[in-house]
Amino acid sequence: MSTIKEELKSKIDYRIIEVEQSSPTTEVEATIILNSPPSEEVIKSFSNVQIVKVFNFMNTIKVRGKAKDVVKLSENSFVTYIMLDDIIVKNEEWI
């Protein structure tokens, strides 16, 4: 089980934290709100997750990746908040 620093918990949707603690390898889709428009360096720092869409005018990036990797993104100073969009479950896991 992962332990997330208290100061970082305020930057992460509680549902992502719950998923990360119960199953860190579960894939999630999330919207990351930044404190400035996303630059090339910011986008490159998200290399451990798949970038789905970049919204420059809204200072947001939509990503998809393992819950543990999405939670790690909160350690970056330019991240304001990470909001859960979807939990991705493959049908084979339910059989």
pLDDT digits (tens, 9 = 90+) for 13-39: 999 999 999 999 999 999 999 999 999
What are the structural domain ranges in the chain? 6-88
Over the chain, what is the mean pLDDT? Answer: 90
Identify the pLDDT of residue 43. 93
Q: Pick 6-88's CATH classification: 3.40.50, 1.10.287, 3.30.420, 3.30.70.
A: 3.30.70
Identify the pLDDT of residue 93. 55
List, as one string, the DSSP characters of 52-90: EEEEGGGTEEEEEEEHHHHHHGGGSTTEEEEEEEEEE--
Does this model's pTM top 0.75? My answer is: yes
* 60 compared with 7, residue with greater pLDDT: 60
pLDDT of 72 over the 80 cut:
yes
pLDDT of 2 over the 70 cut:
no
